[in-house]
Chain A
Amino acid sequence: MLRAQQVRQVTYVPDSGHARLIELVRADRDMRAIPLTTEEEGVALSVGAWLGGEKSVLLMQSSGSGNCINMLGMVQECRVPLPMLITMRGEWGEFNPWQVHMSLATAPALAAMGVVLRTVDSADDIGETVDAALRLAYNTCRGVAVLIAQRVIGAKQFK
């Protein structure tokens, strides 16, 4: 799907749910995998990539969405396309109580910044939803987030 959309820059602070996708991006000659120190770097990079005529995608877990909030103002003010694939933590069989707070705030905080949200609760729906989110973001130039439920990825095992 990222290939079909000719995405060139894939930024991420990884989550286990993105591991396979990141490997695929790294193996793809036409795409550049760009690890970040904090998620807001990927938001700012999307503006530069688009100014230069390239599409980007940002991968993160729900805790990282809070790090993006002010920078998302730039994406929305400048009408830059930014699809975000966010794996949720802290909502389904979570072991780590510190994850719950940003998990609860992820959707409302992104919505407050004008980001279009789509939630995926089953693995079968991911393909279709991500495809629709990519098209919506690139065709209408705005932030679009797909929240992939923890139920789909599974809770991290602490053992």
Chain B
Amino acid sequence: MKHRKPVLDRRKAVADILKERRNALVVAGLGAPCWDIAAADESPLNFYTWGGMGGAAMIGLGLALAQPRRRVLVITGDGEMLMGLGSLATIGVQQPRNLAVIVLDNERYGETGMQLTHTRLGVELAGVAKASGFRAAGTIYSAAQLKTWIPRLHRQLGPVFAAIKVTAQPAPMVLPVRDGATLKTRFREALLGAKALE
């Protein structure tokens, strides 16, 4: 299959998605997706991961099942998603209606020297998601496609999956809170109120 060169800017894509988030809960996969989300829309209802590579989609599943009335967006990278491919199958089995998994796919391990990932070498994540039982799954290459996908990411019956092909151009680092217990506590307080500290 001929390679199609990514053209979208990751920072702009994330900003466009989060502009429409309303009260959605966001799980950020480790590395650049954390900086993108912190830059676009810092909030206590963002849970940033600084480790546990491969776990972002499963954090999203646990959260989506616990909070069925809230939209849950997992925004992660291609390397992180590839490490937890099995979680797409696990999500497919559970069919959470309120979960969207969004991969910012630059086809690189961006934090370690821009080595190519499997997505540059023929692996199509949306195909895996579709075959795993996601109700909607697609690969987004253009701004026009992204525009039609944004309402789906926020509202279509899930599980929804989108791989957004973004350039390997790094954006300035915007570092969010990194203490895990603090991230957890502020998220729970914002979501659950006083019950969070019982």
Contact = CB atoms under 8 A, between A and B. Distances in A.
Interface of A: 8-9, 32, 34-38, 40-54, 56, 70-71, 73-74, 77-80
B90 A78 contact: no
B187 A51 contact: yes
Interface string B156-198: 0000000000000000000000001101100110011001100
B58 A74 contact: no
A37 B191 CA distance: 29
Contacts of B63: 48-49, 51-52
B53 interface: yes
Contact of A51 (B51, B55, B188): B188
B110 interface: no
A52 B65 contact: yes
9 contacts: A34-B65, A34-B93, A34-B94, A45-B62, A49-B62, A49-B63, A52-B67, A52-B191, A71-B52
Contact of B62 (A38, A47, A70, A73): A47
B84 interface: yes
Contacts of B67: 52-53
A10 to B, nearest CB: 11
A78 B180 contact: yes
Given A44-B84, A48-B62, 10 more contacts: A8-B66, A36-B86, A36-B90, A37-B86, A43-B52, A44-B55, A44-B87, A48-B61, A52-B63, A52-B191
A52 B52 contact: no
Given A44-B55, A48-B59, A51-B187, A34 B90 contact: yes
B90 A37 contact: yes
A47 B55 contact: yes
B27 interface: yes
Interface size class of B (residues with CB under 8 A): 35 or more
What DSSP secondary structure best describes chain B's contact surface?
helix
B86 A41 contact: yes
Interface of B: 25, 27, 47, 49-67, 84, 86-87, 89-90, 93-94, 180-181, 183-184, 187-188, 191-192, 195-196
B31 to A, nearest CB: 15
Q: Which of A42, A44, A70 has the most CB of B within 10 A?
A: A44
A73 B66 CA distance: 22
Contacts of A49: 62-63, 65-66
Q: Which of B50, B93, B180 has the most CB of A within 10 A?
A: B180
B184 A41 contact: no
B184 A50 contact: yes
A50 B58 CA distance: 12
B101 to A, nearest CB: 12
B99 to A, nearest CB: 10
Contacts of A38: 86
Contacts of B90: 34-37, 41
B180 A9 contact: no
Given A41-B58, A78-B184, A51 B191 contact: yes
